[in-house]
Structure 1
Amino acid sequence: MTEKTQTTLARESLELERDEMAAALNVHRMTLAKWERGEHKPPAAAVRATELLQFLHKKNLLREFIETQTTN
């Protein structure tokens, strides 16, 4: 069994689908998939953006933010 990457753990803790997480980070879903498989390391900006998504999740604002990202 393969160990989960930090990106995967973050996405799962946020309760997001891959498409939602990719949209929130403004990256292609295949880019996110490569990060999750450990093929590429996410850039510092993506790591920071993930931290901001976790903050929104704690404040119960993440779903609202995701909806604005996927409807645009």
Structure 2
Amino acid sequence: MTNEPWNLLPLLIKGRVDEWEKDLVLENKHNLKQLSVLMWDQVSSLPPVVQFPWSHPNSGLPSALIASV
């Protein structure tokens, strides 16, 4: 599996967040620090079924700022 974001989307759609997270850690170690800073508000709120990290409804959180760009 490649580490391109659009290739990770099917894993999120199927609710396979563990595999998505593993791929991020193994394939994108250089981006992991930035990802943890930007998406800290999503880590504990991801349900077993899909919640897209970039569509978080709470304004003022890092992912809400990203979604507004």
**TM-score calculated relative to the size of structure 1:** 0.29
Structure having the larger proportion of residues in helix: 1
Higher relative contact order (CA 8 A, sep 6+): 1
**TM-score calculated relative to the size of structure 2:** 0.30
